[in-house]
A = this chain, B = another copy of it.
Amino acid sequence: MNAEIIAIGSELLTPFRQDTNSLFLTDKLNTLGIEVEFKDVVGDNREHLVNVARIAFGRADIIIFMGGLGPTEDDLTRECVAEALGIGLKRNSGLVGDLYKWFAARRYKMPESNLKQADVLDGAEILPNANGTAPAQWLETEWAGRKLTLMLLPGPPREIKPIFEEQCLARLRQLAPAEQIATRVLKVAMMGESQCDEIASKVYKKYRDIQTTILAGAGEVQLHLRGRGKTLDAAKAKVDKLVDELEDALEPHLFSTAGESLEQIVGYYLDMRGVSIATAESCTGGLVAERITSVAGSSRYFLGGAIVYSNDLKADFAEVPPLLVQEHGAVSREVAVAMAEGIRKRCKSQLGVGVTGIAGPGGATPDKPVGLVFHALADGKKTEVVQRNFPGDRERVRWYASQQALDMVRRKLSS
């Protein structure tokens, strides 16, 4: 059983906007064993939309139309799908009443044009939209001898997501094949893609019925696993077995087996072990603290931090002796260590993080190139320090450095 996702809207054909709903829909469809085989973007153009719909009717079983359900002249999805199928549209009096109520509750006068949102395809079910005025529609029909399932869904993410999860998924489960798909995402920090694949492939190649995709980003490699089974439990059991083997093989680089971010995992360990932390950052400019505090509840373990660009502030906030900076330079192993130890003492936390480096594009010297970063982690007994030479531009160097610092915290706490 295959699906086609059609995103409708001229703004999606500009350089500024992109369909992202289809990633969410694909994820949900895959769990039912339904593969997405085509995705299209088409503008608010009657002829184009009718033609794109007809092409989809000829090649897909499930066709999802997203967007174009608003009240303006540009919103053509209802009319065009009706035209493509050769069926009618009827104004639904219940929906008309709902529209008047929606506007009355907000003390607005309803524009006449909104009434077209009450038009329903012949034979379609109405799927209410709790977050907007455009109801969705579900239609099971035949076209040129093929059975089709059509969905007309609103474009805004906060409207389409609950409608799809709460109303479409259960209906699709009735239609979907007996096979179910289980997926898992494993994440590995501070390891190259080929290095990771060399280790992982020895394991996943033994599991021929599980599809493994490797994706690499800045300082992180992800392994996406997909396995099929008669039931979701059977599919999960297969995938879980591979996950266990990969966990052993990728120790200690692997940090997540359920898709969590590195800062979520770090937060989980800090919270679970009741350990507090503070940060002193130079080249990352607050990024390490920002990532730690992006996790809800981080005030339980994050006490505070300092961003110390100037040498005066390195001394004042992180107790870095000025002589140390003079002797070794602000970007040095010694200063990173002093920053981690100083901020720890100053904030009275159990762990202290220090990061100093050259993010670029300026600031490099012959022996200290752009990308050179020192990362230190102090626990009151000993202080670890890691030197790295990261490739890439300012944004990438800063991201890598924050990734390295967080990974050091994770490794200390997970062991």
Does B296 contact A285, Cβ atoms closer than 8 Å? no
Chain B residues with CB under 8 A of A16? 23, 213, 215, 222, 224
Chain B residues with CB under 8 A of A281? 286
Stretch at the interface among A109-117, A298-306, A382-390, A404-412: A298-306
Contacts A59-B51, A298-B285, A299-B309; A26 near B13 (Cβ below 8 A): yes
A39 nearest in chain B by CB position: B41
Q: Give A178 to B317 CA distance when docked, in angstroms.
A: 61
Does B310 contact A363, Cβ atoms closer than 8 Å? no
A290 sits at the interface (CB 8 A): yes
Q: Give A381 to B313 CA distance when docked, in angstroms.
A: 23
Chain B residues with CB under 8 A of A24? 15
Kindly supply a per-residue 1/0 record for chain A positions 13-32, scoring 1 wherever the CB is within 8 Å of any chain B CB and 0 otherwise: 11111101001101100100
Kindly supply a per-residue 1/0 record for chain A positions 33-75, scoring 1 wherever the CB is within 8 Å of any chain B CB and 0 otherwise: 0011111111101001001100100010000000000000000
Does B296 contact A286, Cβ atoms closer than 8 Å? no
Q: Give A288 to B398 CA distance when docked, in angstroms.
A: 15
Contacts A26-B13, A294-B395; A306 near B299 (Cβ below 8 A): no
Kindly supply a per-residue 1/0 record for chain A positions 353-386, scoring 1 wherever the CB is within 8 Å of any chain B CB and 0 otherwise: 0000000111100000000000000000000000
Chain B residues with CB under 8 A of A18? 18, 20, 23
Contacts A286-B286, A394-B294; A11 near B306 (Cβ below 8 A): no
> Would you call the interface of chain A mostly helix, strand, loop, or mixed?
mixed
Does B15 contact A30, Cβ atoms closer than 8 Å? yes
Kindly supply a per-residue 1/0 record for chain A positions 263-287, scoring 1 wherever the CB is within 8 Å of any chain B CB and 0 otherwise: 0000000000000000101001111
Contacts A41-B39, A213-B11, A286-B289; A313 near B307 (Cβ below 8 A): no
A292 sits at the interface (CB 8 A): yes
Q: Give A40 to B22 CA distance when docked, in angstroms.
A: 12
Contacts A13-B26, A299-B363; A304 near B294 (Cβ below 8 A): no
Question: What is the total number of copies of this protein in its complex?
Answer: 2
A81 sits at the interface (CB 8 A): no
Q: Give A20 to B12 CA distance when docked, in angstroms.
A: 12
Residue from the list B13, B55, B312, B363 in contact with A37, Cβ < 8 A:
B13
Chain B nearest CB, measured from A415 CB (Å)? 27
A348 sits at the interface (CB 8 A): yes
Does A38 contact B40, Cβ atoms closer than 8 Å? yes
Q: Give A12 to B304 CA distance when docked, in angstroms.
A: 41
Chain B nearest CB, measured from A309 CB (Å)? 5
A347 sits at the interface (CB 8 A): yes
Q: Give A299 to B361 CA distance when docked, in angstroms.
A: 12
Does B42 contact A38, Cβ atoms closer than 8 Å? yes
Q: Give A281 to B284 CA distance when docked, in angstroms.
A: 16
Chain B residues with CB under 8 A of A313? 303-304, 347
A58 nearest in chain B by CB position: B51
Residue in A30, A302, A309 whose Cβ sees the most chain B Cβ within 10 Å: A309
Can you list 22 contacts pairing A with B, beta carbon distance less than 8 Å? A11-B213, A13-B35, A13-B38, A14-B26, A16-B222, A16-B224, A18-B23, A37-B42, A37-B45, A38-B52, A39-B41, A48-B59, A281-B286, A285-B293, A286-B288, A294-B398, A296-B362, A297-B362, A299-B309, A299-B363, A304-B306, A305-B307
Q: Nearest 7 A-B pairs (CB), nearest first? A: A285-B293, A286-B286, A286-B289, A15-B27, A304-B313, A286-B290, A39-B41
Other A-B pairs beyond A38-B52, A285-B289, A316-B346, 10, CB < 8 Å? A13-B35, A13-B37, A15-B26, A285-B298, A286-B289, A293-B307, A294-B398, A302-B309, A306-B307, A313-B347
